[in-house]
Chain A
């Protein structure tokens, strides 16, 4: 019963959940969920470019997402648009451009649904390597910049005044986010990766009273979502990405009951 692709999917899922937990906390704390969404949407463009030019998919997504992040930061400084309008502009434009390009590429067989919602069956051993090496790198860098990043999340000016170089660590964090999207698109999909980033974290927020606890619970929530979601996906033959996110949502709802109880006590 335990097929190779199931084992691969589980290993891949665990690798991704270990990274989305801590990164998700920073996305929630810094209110960057729409920003993460925008980077994720640009991944479709990245996939199509990689197919057209025949270059490595993860690498292309990473480069495209990083470029989009730089573009966003630039535009934020030079235009009068509010941050969320700007994000909407870039996010939907990149998605639309991706889909238009797809129209021109009628000569290749391309599974759009797979890119949008994740296709666990397509995860091969090469992808596993990318996920685990990439994920490990992300976590190593994140632990290295953890203190200054956390300090600048709590108060930017205080962090800067006390020599924590917030501008630099913020830029590094954005790159880490782009890297996470690059390694996880195949599994979760363009439209749902932000869900795996923030829903387990939102659950963790309901249950924790300090940052460390929140990170740990967020990782556990992500792992449970991935494992149960994948199991459901194989058993009842649903897409892997949506199944994982639905499980995360159920965990979040359960955590709400706990917080209700707390408030009444």
Chain B
């Protein structure tokens, strides 16, 4: 395996807290130019796994190797305290120094350039998510961790943002760890799926996962069919990626 290409690797990673495992035995690898999606029911440890990958926990079991420091993060929930007046433009340079052009083009990509001088607290949920995503991509990261990045975004916007995420992945040649509930939409933009339920329940290409029995048990026959249909329609997109996945395994 080529280690330069691997941005992050989790080996047997897990968190044992308050006498129970939040998540355990997670093996995960993200390479450059690859989108890895975590799916699973509520409380299955998706966010926890992302936080392990980001190094937000002091004590974990297992191992995490990170080969990059250029990381961007879109957390699941960001609340801005009302005591803090903060415009979108201020938020964009929170952890980075950016040129005005870079700020504008990132906001433009996610379709919220007109909100640049707005106060963050005045944005709607969907607008806020777009700003979060714009901030994350503006610094041109090598690894992008997106925890439900399109929550609250309208359906057309959702599809557009997922295709934007895929474009970003290709243009920046960065690795992306994506957490999402929108199974049917997200699959089109995914190279590799990890299905969590306290542990890795199953993993593989979107189609492999959709057809696997554990997935059907977890999400029901119906959503599995939905995925399969989708996969069938877009078979050509993923056939080459499937081979890469085999190497990962």
A-to-B contact residues, CB < 8 Å: 28-29, 31, 147-148, 150-151, 153-155, 157-164, 205, 208-214
Contacts and interface: CB of A to CB of B under 8 A. Distances in A.
Given A160-B56, A161-B71, A164-B95, 13 more contacts: A150-B94, A153-B84, A154-B78, A157-B54, A159-B95, A161-B54, A161-B75, A162-B73, A162-B95, A163-B71, A205-B85, A210-B90, A211-B84
Contact of B86 (A158, A159, A211): A211
Contact of B95 (A28, A29, A153, A158): A158
A148 B95 CA distance: 7
B68 to A, nearest CB: 10
A70 B73 CA distance: 30
B73 A158 contact: yes
B86 A210 contact: yes
B43 interface: no
B58 to A, nearest CB: 10
Given A157-B75, A161-B71, A162-B71, A31 B95 contact: no
Contacts of B56: 157, 160-161
Interface string B157-191: 00000000000000000000000000000000000
Q: Tell me what chain B mostly uses at the interface: helix, strand, loop, or mixed.
A: loop
Interface of B: 51, 54-56, 69, 71-73, 75, 78, 80-81, 83-87, 90-91, 94-96, 119, 145
29 contacts: A29-B83, A150-B94, A151-B94, A154-B86, A155-B75, A157-B54, A157-B73, A157-B75, A158-B73, A158-B75, A158-B78, A158-B95, A159-B95, A160-B55, A160-B56, A161-B55, A161-B145, A162-B71, A162-B73, A162-B95, A162-B96, A205-B85, A208-B85, A209-B85, A209-B119, A210-B86, A210-B87, A210-B90, A214-B85
A212 B84 CA distance: 11
Given A150-B94, A164-B95, A155 B85 contact: no
Contacts of B78: 154-155, 158
Nearest to B97: A147
A191 to B, nearest CB: 23
Nearest to B76: A157
A211 B80 contact: no
A153 B96 CA distance: 15
A205 B83 contact: yes
Nearest to A167: B58
B91 A154 contact: yes
Contacts of A209: 85, 87, 119
B17 to A, nearest CB: 14
A154 B85 contact: no
A29 B81 contact: yes
Contacts of B54: 157, 160-161
Nearest to A159: B95
Contacts of A214: 85
B87 A158 contact: no
A161 B71 CA distance: 7
Q: Enumerate the 5 nearest inter-chain pairs by beta-carbon distance, A residue then B residue, closest first.
A: A161-B73, A161-B54, A162-B95, A29-B84, A151-B94
B83 A28 contact: yes
B82 to A, nearest CB: 9
A157 B56 CA distance: 7
Contacts of A160: 54-56
Given A163-B69, A163-B71, A209-B119, A158 B85 contact: no
B203 to A, nearest CB: 23
Contacts of A157: 51, 54, 56, 73, 75
Contacts of A164: 95
Contacts of B83: 28-29, 31, 205
Pick the most buried of A29, A153, A155, A205: most chain B CB atoms within 10 A of its CB. A155
Contacts of B85: 205, 208-211, 213-214
Contacts of B81: 29, 31
Pick the most buried of B56, B75, B94, B145: most chain A CB atoms within 10 A of its CB. B94
A28 B94 CA distance: 18
Contacts of A154: 78, 80, 84, 86, 91, 94
